[in-house]
Amino acid sequence: MRRERTDAARNRAKILAAAEEIVAARGVEGLSMAEVAAAAGVGVGTLYRRFGDRSGLAYALIDAREREFQAAFLEGPPPLGPGAEPLERARAFLGALADRTIEQLDLLLMAETAAPPARFGGAYDAYHGHLVMLIGQARPGADAYCLADALLAPLAAPLLAHRLRECGVAAGRVKGALDDLVSGLAGA
Amino acid sequence: MRRERTDAARNRAKILAAAEEIVAARGVEGLSMAEVAAAAGVGVGTLYRRFGDRSGLAYALIDAREREFQAAFLEGPPPLGPGAEPLERARAFLGALADRTIEQLDLLLMAETAAPPARFGGAYDAYHGHLVMLIGQARPGADAYCLADALLAPLAAPLLAHRLRECGVAAGRVKGALDDLVSGLAGA
DNA sequence: TCCTTATCCGGAATGCATTCCGCTTAGAAC
DNA sequence: GTTCTAAGCGGAATGCATTCCGGATAAGGA
C-alpha cells in the first residue's frame, strides 16, 4: 500500500470540500453523488473510487471532525480521559458520545445505511475498544466485548432521531438510561 | 376508513405469496419490487400503494409470522408469559426476541432501512411497551421508557449480523450480555 | 338494475446510486 | 529525458426503487 498519488489527494480534498458545502447549503438530503461530483469537478467514478459509496462519503465527512473527540477520551483530562474510575469514565464517554451523535444526526442517518464492514469498522471500533477496556477494568469476569456493543447500540442514529424528534424525548433521559445500565454493572 | 376493497385484498394476498416464494427461492437479495409485481401479476404501483416501499413489504412478511410470538409473551406460560418475576420475564423475553431476530436476520436487514415511523411502530412498539411494563414493575422510579429502548437496541439486525457472521460471536454471548444488563437493574 | 364516485390498478416515466471500461497520468526506474 | 506501468480518471450505461396519472372497477344508494 503506497502513498496516495498527488492528484488523488487533491481530488479527495476537492470532493470533501464540495460535499461540506452542499450539506451546509441544502442539508444532507440534497447530497447526491452526481451533484457532489459535478461541484468538485470530477467524474462520479472518482467519487466511488475514493469513498466506496454514499455512506462512505458520509463517514468521511464525519471522520474529519472525529480526531479531537478520540483524543479527548484517550488522553484528555478526567472524567473522560485517564484518571477517573473506569465506570465513571464509561458514563462520561457515553454521555459525550451521545452529544456528538446528536450533533451529527443527519449525517449519521445517511451513513448508517452502510453495509456492516464500513459501519462497524473505523470510529465504531475505536469506541468499542475503549469501552471494552473500561468494562474489563471494572468487571474482570464479564463479557466486556458484548457489553460494549450493547451499551453503544442505544446510540444508533435512527433510534435517537426518532425518540428525540418524533417522541419529544429529551437527550438527558437517554443519557440517564445509559448511566443506569452502566451503574448496574458495578454490583455483580 | 372503510373496509378494504375485495380486489385490493386479493392483490395483497397475491403479492405476499409471490414475495414469500421469491424469498424462499432466491433469498432476500433477489427480492426486487418489479419482480414481485410481475410474479404476483399486478403492476408495481399496486405494490407501492399497499406496502409503501421495499421495507414495508419486508415488514409485512415478518408480521405474518409475528402473531404467535406476541401471544407467547403476552399470555403464554412463564417465564415468558405472566407468572414469573418481572426481570426474569424481561430476560426471557429478550432471549426469545434475540432468537427470533436471528432467525429472520436477512429480512430484518432489508426492513431496517426503513424510515423511523415504520421502523419503530408496529412490532417494535409492542416489544417496547412490554418491556416498559416489566421494568416499571421491577423498578418503579426508573425511566422505563428509555431503558426499554436501550435494551432493545443491541438486537438491531445490522449489529447482530455483523457480530455473528463476521466476528464469530455466539448468539449466547449476546444474550448473556443482555442478561447482565437486566440483572444490573435489580440492585438500585 | 343503473348511477356515482371513492378507491384502486397498471405500467410508463423519472431520478439516483452504482458499475464498467477504455483512456490518461503520476512517478519510479534507468 | 525516456520508458513503463500501476493507479487514477471520467462519464456513459445500467439497474432498481419510487412516483405519477389517466383509465378501470367495486360497492352502496336510487
pLDDT tens digits, A157-188 = 999 999 999 999 999 999 999 999 999 998 75
User: Does an H or E element contain B136, and which?
Assistant: helix B122-138
Strand D closer than 7 Å to the CB of B32? yes
Mean pLDDT for chain A?
A: 92
Q: For A20, how many CA atoms within 13 A lie in the half-sphere containing its CB? A: 12
Chain A residues with CB-CB distance to B183 below 8 A: 184, 188
How confident is the model at residue B119, as a pLDDT?
80
Checking if the pLDDT of B65 tops 90, the result is: no
How confident is the model at residue B4, as a pLDDT?
83
Instruction: Give the one of A142, A162, A173 whose C-beta lies nearest to B120's C-beta.
Output: A162
How confident is the model at residue A102, as a pLDDT?
95
Please answer yes or no on whether B146 and A174 come within 8 Å at the CB atom. yes
Chain A residue whose CA is closest to B148: A177
Checking if the pLDDT of B137 tops 90, the result is: yes
How confident is the model at residue B188, as a pLDDT?
57
Distance from CA of A8 to the nearest CA of B (A): 31
Across the range B12-18, mean pLDDT stands at 95
Cell triple for residue A33? 453523488
- Residue B107 sits at the vertex; the CA angle it makes with B103 and B113, to the nearest 5 degrees, is 130
What are the pLDDT digits (tens) for A125-137? 999 999 999 999 9
Q: What is the spatial distance between Cα B129 and Cα B135, in angstroms, rounded to a whole number?
A: 10
How confident is the model at residue A179, as a pLDDT?
96
* Rounded mean pLDDT for each run of 10 residues along chain A, 188 residues in total: 84 95 89 95 96 92 86 89 94 97 92 76 91 96 97 96 94 97 86
Beta-ladder partners of A84: A82
Distance from CA of B96 to the nearest CA of A (A): 17
How confident is the model at residue A66, as a pLDDT?
84
| Letter string b/e over residues A139-148, b meaning 16 or more CB atoms within 10 A of that residue's CB | beebbbbbbb
Cα–Cα nearest to A179, from A98, A62, A120, A106: A98
Domains of chain A in sequence order: 1-52 (1.10.10.60), 63-187 (1.10.357)
pLDDT band at B122 (very low <50, low <70, confident <90, very high): confident
Neighbouring C-beta atoms of residue A12, cutoff 10 Å: 19
Mean pLDDT for chain B?
A: 92
Q: What is the spatial distance between Cα B28 and Cα B110, in angstroms, rounded to a whole number?
A: 8
Cell triple for residue B122? 408496529
How confident is the model at residue A157, as a pLDDT?
94
Strand C closer than 7 Å to the CB of B43? yes
Checking if the pLDDT of B70 tops 60, the result is: yes
How confident is the model at residue A138, as a pLDDT?
95
pLDDT band at B172 (very low <50, low <70, confident <90, very high): very high
Share of chain B above pLDDT 70, in %: 96
